[in-house]
A = this chain, B = another copy of it.
Amino acid sequence: MNDLAIHLTDENGKHLYEQIYEYIADEIREGKLLAGEKLPSTRSLADYLQVARSTVELAYDQLASEGYIESVPYRGYYICRVEELYRIGTSGGGLRSEKKGAGQEDGQPGQKDSRTARYFDIDFSPNAIDMNLFPFGTWRKITRDILSGDRKELFALGEPRGDLELRKTVCRYLHASRGVNASPEQIIVGAGNDYLLLLLQYILGRGITAAFENPSYRRAFRIFSSFAARMVTVPSDENGIRVDGLLASGANVAYVMPSRQFPTGTVMPIGRRTELLRWASSAEDRYLVEDDYDSEFRYRGKPIPSLQSADTAGRVIYIGTFSKSVAPAIRISFMVLPERLMEAYEKNCSFFSSTVSRIDQTILNEFILSGAFERHLNRMRKAYREKHDLLLDCLQPLLNRYRLSGEYAGLHVLLTSRVPAGEEELLERAAACGVRIYGLKEAALAPFETDYATVLLGYGGLDQERIREGIRRLDAAL
């Protein structure tokens, strides 16, 4: 705990509790007090500042009611994770997600939240994952074994596109689980999706017109916006992005999530996939960027192979990540380039140094080869399926008022109001009972109007009790 060197004064006409409140709030916002840190007890801070204990209590109450800190019974006051609310465009995840052990993944929108000064004790973040399931022991053991091996070469700089051994393993995994056809040479390993998307400006060039659905994954949209000559949004229907819209837009690169669109949850059926591939192969410079961000989680039916697996013309750039399936801290994503883009990669990108340490690559490789990854995925699938099923049960009472969609896969579902309702209003009503839910428009790339609001409910980071309690409150509030 840092010292709280609060300088109290009578001169500015502010109450003492206000000065304490403002000092601590500033420290938290500026990152000087960190999430998870314990505040001094009200008694000790009162002693230290020579003020009445009730003054400190008032300040702490105010901070707690605004979500800066939280009171943990019998233990004291702790700083909440709020700094992300003040950063623009970083991934969401909601208050306190870190302390609950929930993680945020790569593939998600994020934006400044107007509901800052609120205290949410249940956060249906569509981006949170359940870090309680992570096999820390196995990871530790693999790390220890690898570091004990005196393998000095692991401390050297690895190949720009990633270690061959890891690329071979990823290749096999992608082929087996997603039907991806590629040789290890076509795989580029990088520190996160964002980095790999940045590289695309050197592979596809900056003259491209990039098409996105609306809503879509905002962060990818922003990265493409940072280099593409032109950006377009294209209408989608219940099967995903519309190919007639794509044709009309004049785009030559389309960013799609066929296995499960974020945020709509749409799974692209085979017919639309074929249409898309036909669109791509019918001109020389057309490409599809397939973001396969959470294809690991499907709770009904057989997994649908990737778009890349059906691509005979070499037009799909496939992107996947271990940030969601292993842990967000694992900054290892990969991109599978079609053969015809390898020359551009070699020419324009292969001189960039690798962004992932060989040690981390070796740990991940061993994690996969040892079977621990498969076991971890199975455990996560089972846990998420149970949460998903519970959520669907709990939502029954709401289904006369809301239409459910996006279920049976991923880590969130969507509710659309059956009667006219505004999104903001629904989020407000949820917030008023301490529940944070997310609006479809928060993932909007361009404004869109609808009379029937849609909200997102993520369940990855919540335990069963919180899911029950959260939906109970929403049932009363919405």
Report A's interface with B, CB cutoff 8 A. Answer: 30-31, 34, 36, 83, 87-91, 97-99, 101-106, 110, 131-132, 134, 136, 139-140, 143-144, 147-148, 150, 152-160, 164, 184-185, 191-195, 198, 202, 219, 222-223, 226, 323, 327-331, 346-348, 350-360
Contacts and interface: CB of A to CB of B under 8 A. Distances in A.
A359 B358 CA distance: 14
Contact of A195 (B219, B323, B355, B358): B355
Contact of A139 (B101, B147, B156, B202): B147
A222 B351 contact: yes
Contacts of A143: 143-144, 147
A222 B348 CA distance: 9
B356 A160 contact: no
A134 B328 CA distance: 29
Contacts of A355: 191-192, 194-195, 331, 355
A353 to B, nearest CB: 5
A23 to B, nearest CB: 18
Contacts of A158: 329
A43 B328 CA distance: 50
Contact of A89 (B91, B148, B351): B351
A156 B357 contact: no
Contacts of A327: 155-156
Contacts of A160: 87, 90
A348 to B, nearest CB: 7
A358 to B, nearest CB: 5
Contacts of A222: 351
A104 B150 CA distance: 18
B226 A191 contact: no
B328 A356 contact: no
21 contacts: A31-B184, A87-B159, A87-B350, A88-B346, A88-B351, A98-B153, A103-B155, A103-B156, A103-B157, A105-B157, A131-B155, A136-B147, A143-B143, A144-B144, A156-B329, A191-B356, A193-B353, A194-B352, A198-B198, A222-B351, A360-B360
B353 A91 contact: yes
B202 A351 contact: no
A152 B164 contact: no
- Interface-centre pick from A87, A139, A202, A353 (highest chain B CB count, 10 A): A353
Main secondary structure of the interface of A (DSSP, over half): loop
Contacts of A139: 147
Query: Could you say which of A155, A195, A328 has the most chain B C-beta atoms within 10 Å of its C-beta?
Result: A155
Contacts of A359: 329
Contacts of A164: 31, 34
Nearest to A36: B153
Contacts of A134: 152, 155
Contacts of A353: 91, 106, 192-194, 219, 331
Given A34-B164, A88-B350, A194-B353, 19 more contacts: A89-B350, A90-B160, A91-B353, A106-B157, A131-B155, A132-B152, A139-B147, A140-B148, A144-B144, A144-B147, A157-B323, A157-B328, A158-B329, A192-B353, A192-B354, A219-B351, A222-B351, A329-B359, A331-B355
Contacts of A329: 154-158, 357-359
Contacts of A357: 329-331, 360
A348 B226 contact: yes
Contacts of A152: 101, 131-132, 134, 136
A104 B354 CA distance: 12
A194 B87 CA distance: 25
Interface core residue of A104, A136, A223 (most chain B CB under 10 Å): A136
A460 to B, nearest CB: 13
Closest 6 CB pairs of A and B: A89-B351, A191-B355, A157-B328, A155-B327, A103-B156, A191-B191
Contacts of A358: 329
